[in-house]
Chain A
Amino acid sequence: MTSPTLERALPERLAPGDRDRLKRQVPAGVTLLAFIAMLVVCGAIQPVIFSATGLNLVLSSIVPLVIASLAQMVMMSIGDIDLGIGSFVGLVTAVSATTLSGTPLIGVLILLALIAGYGVLGALVHLRRVPALIATLGASFVWYGLALFVLPTPGGTAPDWLLAFAAWTPSAFPAPVLPILVITAAIWAVLQLTPVGARVRALGSNAAVLERSGRSALRTRIITYVIVGVLAVLAGLSLSSQIGGGDPTSANDYTLISVAAVILGGGSFFGGRAVAWGSMVGAVTLGLVSVLLSLLNLSSNVQPAVEGGIVIAALAGRLLVGKVLR
């Protein structure tokens, strides 16, 4: 009862691989368009932005947000969400402005201990089945308390090497592009090209697959949380280099902006998706909002509202394009 022509024709009709691939790229693509549009508007108002120094100025304040968004992206790729990342980044700036510049060795040890703390958090979430949302929310208060203990009022001085990095302005290219691209590429490579990355994404997509293949979901979750911790420390150091010292509350708004950046970049609340490049573009786009507002001579107080508008518009655009493609 088989017809050979049908057997061959059917799967091809059902699996238009290129179309599917395109559909996957759409979310980040829409965000990229928004990013380019904003850049063009900014450039039209203030052409100096397109020079290396101009881009340097614009992008340098965005670097910590990009790194924090990549951390959030890793977290969301396993279906968890990190509500403590803002406080954690603030804590890292406090450590950086005090211990790290005073007694570097102890500072490094403290940072490593904080990363280990993330691993413990992951184990807790997995073993006790505490929702990540709750665990990281609780952790955010712990991070904040520790930060206040280390540095009660904003101040201190970042280590010299961090300050030197912040002051580095090569003429050939805008310096902030380097950490942004390198870290994004590294995270992309880890998640997409390595077996560990496949396990992380599988944990978010269908944890049963991992368990049934004899691999430890616990270990995978801990690895994921440690990666998040490492990235959050890098984000904190980068922020500390920007503000020249430490401030426990300096990164509070990173928590929700990083989630928005991941969603803008094509991530999902349900896990399984890990779009490093998209999250990077999402973070840069959101970071550009304040630049655009200041160029338009609008009060920076409306910044959150504009950011929210962009998130909603980009998501609506993404749904629209998705519908057209289907």
Chain B
Amino acid sequence: MSTTTTAPDLVVQVRHASKTYGPTRALSAIDLDIRAGDIVGVVGHNGAGKSTLMRLLAGIEPTDSGTVSVAGRSKSARGGFPGARMAYQETNLANELSVGDNAYLSAVGSPRGARWRKHAEERILSRLDEMFPGHGIRAATWVGDLSLAQRQMVEIARATLDDDLRLLILDEPTESLTGGATEALYDAVRRMSAAGVAVILISHRIREVLEVAHRVVVLRDGAVASEHAAAGLTEDDVLRAMGGSDVEIVLPVTGAVSIDVPIVAEVPARDARTGTARPIQARRGEVVGLAGIAGQGQEVILAALWNARERARRRVKKAYVPGDRQRSGILPLWNVADNLNITAMRSLGRWGLRNTAAEREVVDRWVHLLNVRGGVEAQMAGLSGGNQQKVIVARAFASDAELVLLDDPFRGVDVHTKNDLYRLIRDEAARGRTVVWYSSENAEMRHCDRVYVVRAGRIAAELRGQEINEERIIAESFVIADDEEVAE
């Protein structure tokens, strides 16, 4: 373990902190010490209490009992503890404002004078240049016009705009970032750590946590399950500590769908090398993956599949699982049952009336099958992200859709939930459903029968069965200079 603990001052000191929301106990008697320059990875399943702990540390919410002190203060000011900043997973940016205006609002110690905007723009751009060279972001661009990856960069950069930064909390910072940007971010984190800033890193990408962090804190059921030095720790060790002793990656038998099976969905596309037409097809009972770097046109393909007119006269019933659940997935004020039912209720009902008994049965089955925490009556907004995601996925599969489109729905979902959902997808495919699945996580693609690697809106490769592995996908995702010349 690297010894950065020469500066003995404690930046974070948590003693017996507890927090309950209604009937659920989110945190129970947590103890945690973090020193200046520490990089601490916090891992745990969804609902283990990570987000709650971070809200306490950022000073957004008070503890119910126990104490939290950050940088020597145990009372937070409005807007949090001074010196403690957080980059949110869902980003904390106003979409209708420019990058510069967001930086102004977020930065600590912004001058109010005539040059307020210029100053904020210079500050955020220089920070972006420093953290993510080649980011391509302009200060005058509206945040809503940025790509997901760029928004995440802005979110991280704006969280560091504090001249007296003592604690930086990064909540799933790399979910939307490309490999290069991720490397750049962690380089910047190491530099900040060397300068004495304490960094907390929350990520489901355990390999990344192990690479960057000095220490790993494992949360389970609202308590610290264990603490480890990161050196020498393996991914399996962490998974086991998270309660993942039964985690086994179930690899399905894939690639077995024959040519005789009818095509359920098809959209025209082109080959990345030759430029010739090469349609994207999905057959009945097949799980088809769309891989490649985020933002290369996978969403466009999904949208085309959603809008496609079928060759056959028969209408194919479809369901769509969005990746951005906050924006387009959930009905936050409705309960789990209604959220889950909304697609299925039409096919369950008769003569335009709802069949509440059948709906109830469907909901009970899915809530039980996917083990949604909080149960049928829980309000959607009160669930953790992973549980919300389960409900959205269940909504699609509870319907009678033949074609299910998945738009990178498992970002920020814990390993257990993911394994449940992977199994579900395979089972449903075996029952004759067709699944088209875009994922930014290449490892997930192993659960597909066939994978199209998408590059700049074109098909770079089509992999089947045993050919599907991370190395192949990564290799095909990136532009090879010679290759491009052939294509032009």
Given A15-B137, A20-B145, A214-B80: A206 touches B93 (CB 8 Å cut-off) = yes
Distance A210 CA – B142 CA, assembled complex (angstroms):
17
Return the contact of B141 from the options A15, A193, A210, A273 (Cβ within 8 A). A15
Residues B97 and A201 in contact, CB atoms below 8 Å apart? yes
Q: Does A318 contact B (CB under 8 A)?
A: no
With an 8 A cutoff between CB atoms, is B105 at the interface? yes
Given the known interface contacts A24-B142, A272-B94, the answer about A12 and B136 at a Cβ–Cβ threshold of 8 Å is yes
The CA-CA distance from A26 to B469 in the complex, in Å, is: 45
- B147 engages A198 (CB within 8 Å): no
A242 to chain B, nearest CB (A): 35
Q: Classify the interface of chain A: helix, strand, loop or mixed.
A: helix
Interface residues of A in 234-282 (CB under 8 A from B): 271-273
Nearest chain B CB to A262 CB, angstrom units:
14
Q: With the chains together, A8 CA to B93 CA distance in Å?
A: 24
If the complex has contacts A11-B136, A14-B147, are A206 and B474 also in contact, measured as CB distance less than 8 A? Answer: no
CA distance A3 to B134 in the complex (A): 12
The answer to whether A14 touches B295 (Cβ under 8 A) is yes
B145 and A199 within 8 A (CB) = no
Once the chains bind, are A11 and B147 in contact (CB under 8 Å)?
yes
Supposing A15-B138, A202-B101 touch, asked if A209 and B150 sit within 8 A by C-beta, the answer is no
Complex contact B474–A1 (CB within 8 A): yes
Is A10 part of the contact surface with B, judged by Cβ < 8 Å? yes
Count of interface residues, chain A, beta-carbon cutoff 8 Å: 40
CB–CB B147/A202 < 8 A = no
- Which residues of the partner chain B approach A194 to less than 8 Å between Cβ atoms? 116
- Residue in A10, A13, A213 whose CB lies within 8 Å of B79: A213
| A204 proximity list for chain B (CB < 8 A) | 96
Min Cβ gap B201→A in Å is 20
Known interface pairs A208-B92, A209-B94; A15-B136 also in contact (CB < 8 Å)? yes
Annotate A186-218 by CB proximity to B: 1 below 8 A, 0 otherwise: 000000011100110110111011111111100
Residues A211 and B145 in contact in the complex (CB < 8 Å), given A3-B479, A6-B479: no
B135 an interface residue at 8 Å Cβ cutoff?
Answer: yes
Beta-carbon contacts of B111-146 to A below 8 Å, as 1s and 0s? 010001100000000000000001111101110011
Report whether B141 and A205 are in contact in the complex, using a CB–CB cutoff of 8 Å.
no
* Known A2-B179, A17-B138, A273-B96: A214·B478 in contact at CB below 8 Å: no
The answer on a CB contact under 8 Å between A205 and B94 is yes
Interface residue B77 (Cβ < 8 Å from any Cβ of A): yes
| B78 neighbours in A (Cβ, 8 Å) | 211, 214, 216
Given the interface pairs A6-B478, A11-B137, A24-B142, the reply to whether A212 lies near B97 with Cβ below 8 Å is no
Q: How far apart sit A191 and B331, CA to CA, in the bound complex (Å)?
A: 32
Q: Any chain A CB within 8 A of the CB of B180? A: yes
Contact A209 B92 (CB under 8 A): yes
Chain A nearest CB from B299 CB (Å) reads: 12
- Taking CB atoms, residues of chain A closer than 8 Å to B97 are 198, 201-202, 205, 272
Shortest beta-carbon distance, A16 to chain B, in Å?
9
B95 in the interface (beta carbon within 8 A): yes
CB nearest to A210 among chain B residues: B105
Chain A residues whose CB sits within 8 angstroms of the CB of B105 once the complex forms: 198-199, 202, 209-210, 213, 215
- A1-38 interface bits toward B, Cβ cutoff 8 Å, 1 = contact, 0 = none: 11111111111111101001000100000000000000
Instruction: Supply 11 A–B pairs (Cβ within 8 Å), ascending by A.
Output: A2-B179, A3-B478, A6-B293, A13-B456, A195-B116, A198-B104, A201-B97, A201-B101, A202-B94, A205-B96, A214-B77
5 closest residue pairs by CB, A with B: A214-B79, A11-B136, A272-B96, A2-B180, A205-B94
Known A17-B141, A198-B97; further 13 A-B contacts with Cβ < 8 A: A2-B183, A3-B478, A3-B479, A4-B134, A6-B180, A15-B147, A202-B105, A206-B92, A206-B93, A212-B92, A214-B78, A272-B96, A273-B96
